[in-house]
Amino acid sequence: MTIDRTDPYTRLNPRPIPTEGYTKEETYKHTRTPVDLAVTLIPDAYSSREFFEIEREKVFASSWVVAGFTSQVQKTGQVIVAEVAGRSIIVTRDKQGELRAFYNVCRHRAAKLLDDDTRAVRNNRIRCPYHSWTYDLEGKCLGTPLFEGSDIPEETRAAFDMSEVREFDKADYGLLPVGAESWGFLVFVNLDPDAAPLTEQLGDLPERFSDYRLDEWRVVREKTYEVAANYKLVGENYLEYYHLPWVHPELVQVSRMEDHYRWQGPGLYSGFCTTPISQNTEGGGWQGLPPVSTLPGDDAESGRFVLLFPNVAIAVLPNHAFVIVANPVGPDRTVEETVILSHPESLDNPNAEKELDQLLRFWDLVNLQDIEIVERVQEGISNPAYRGGRMCYQFEETLHRYQNMVIDKMVGIDRIPPGDQEESVRMFRSNGSPEETS
């Protein structure tokens, strides 16, 4: 058979693309078109080590990135240790209750201060395991070192005193700070010292979720998954429900295709909603725990699904939330940290633990189905024969919006996408056929 070289799909993106092309607008021209004409993001964005390294700096080192959850740092001395753009970061709350974040590196000889699984520090101090330099929760260097609890005899401790060292002032050797803010139940950090406030990136989400009182929700279940796929494939799969009938036979029973609406305003996010949520089936579902009492109208019977740029998917239901933090560890490797959160009102019933276990089983089922399919996509997208595919515009506008956010960062554009022209756009008519989008 002779291949038709005039076919546009055989002439899309060359593979491989020169590394310098990853930061040039021309490279993404096929994805920059309106969604009904657009081709997917270049395959190198999911498989190239060179793209991955540039993306860490262009995307993750310059964005507000979720590092954890507010319930993990409610009290002074609690800590979160997270990796952002290849850097280990400590997040904590000081004695005044303010969020603080620092690079997880000692100012003496650069030892990593806290292990990845550290959840709290003793005596509200961060102590280096190498030479015992010690810092308070505001990042100030307290001693070089302090010897409380050490085995060094008191009479010999003076030998370690640095107070007489020339041109040394411990005030100059505090922990290196990182921007930290919170919204709802999420804690964010930003490595860019000149970053705009978190509110600019969130856009209208705080207003949209104001009745949920998300800042009062707490983590009640956790599970980690290792995924042999690029982190963006995790997010893109989350954003579209085109695949539901074939991949999620259980989920489509409680989140029917005809009940999906696009739901996004200005902000660095993409989103949709399911309304109303259907009742549980034998395969599971989202009902069980009582809903938050302050939810009005549609919020009391809807699921809101948002992908926060660059890598966090949040599903907020009336009675719980499911969150995926898709941490990229390589171009074809992702570690998903997933949690279920709920409001104390919803947890105040005798069947709460049973209902939470049911929710965890259901989300685990759905997530494992998604992982299997995105790993298959990773295998295909790594095949040099694939150079990009045509968007299915009825279902993939949210995905197109997300891919263009990635492109903006890669080419150095600082932009907040506007919202949809309509408040919500129903994607299906009652007979199940696609409805025209705005």
pLDDT one-digit tens code per residue, 41-60: 999 999 999 999 999 999 99
Indicate the average pLDDT of the chain: 87
Q: What is the mean pLDDT of residues 57-65?
A: 97
Q: What is the dihedral of CA 377, 383, 389, 394, to 10 degrees?
A: 0
pLDDT band of residue 203 (cuts 50, 70, 90) is very high
Best-predicted range by mean pLDDT (5-9, 259-263, 401-405, 433-437): 401-405
Q: What is the mean pLDDT of residues 124-142?
A: 91
- Predicted TM-score (pTM) of the model is 0.89
pLDDT tens-digit readout, 258-314: 777 888 999 999 998 888 877 877 777 788 899 999 999 889 989 999 999 999 999
Residue 223 has pLDDT above 70, yes or no: yes
Residue 197 has pLDDT above 80, yes or no: yes
Q: Shortest CA distance to 362 belongs to which of 197, 250, 195?
A: 250
Rounded to whole angstroms, the Cα distance separating 356 from 346 reads 10
Residue 434 pLDDT: 44
Residue 309 pLDDT: 98
Q: What is the mean pLDDT of residues 231-255?
A: 78
Residue 151 pLDDT: 58
Residue 256 pLDDT: 73
Residue 81 pLDDT: 98
Residue 1 pLDDT: 46
Residue 217 has pLDDT above 50, yes or no: yes
Rounded to whole angstroms, the Cα distance separating 247 from 322 reads 19
Q: What is the mean pLDDT of residues 400-419?
A: 95
Pairing of strands 141-143, 177-183: unpaired
The domain ranges of the chain are 65-179, 206-426
Residue 165 pLDDT: 59
Residue 437 pLDDT: 38
pLDDT band of residue 158 (cuts 50, 70, 90) is low
Least confident of 119-128, 158-167, 229-238, 275-284: 158-167
Pairing of strands 260-262, 218-227: unpaired
Residue 177 pLDDT: 97
Residue 323 has pLDDT above 80, yes or no: yes
Higher pLDDT, 160 or 264: 264
Residue 124 pLDDT: 94
Contact assessment for residue 337 and residue 224, using Cβ atoms and an 8 Å cutoff: yes
Q: What is the mean pLDDT of residues 310-325?
A: 97
- CA neighbours closer than 13 Å in the CB half-sphere of residue 155: 0
CATH topology of domain 65-179: Rieske Iron-sulfur Protein (2.102.10)
Residue 207 pLDDT: 96
Q: Of all helices (H) and strands (E), which one includes residue 344? A: helix 344-347
Residue 432 has pLDDT above 60, yes or no: no
The answer regarding whether domain 206-426 maps to CATH 3.90.380.10 reads yes
Rounded to whole angstroms, the Cα distance separating 154 from 394 reads 73
What percent of the chain has pLDDT above 90?
66
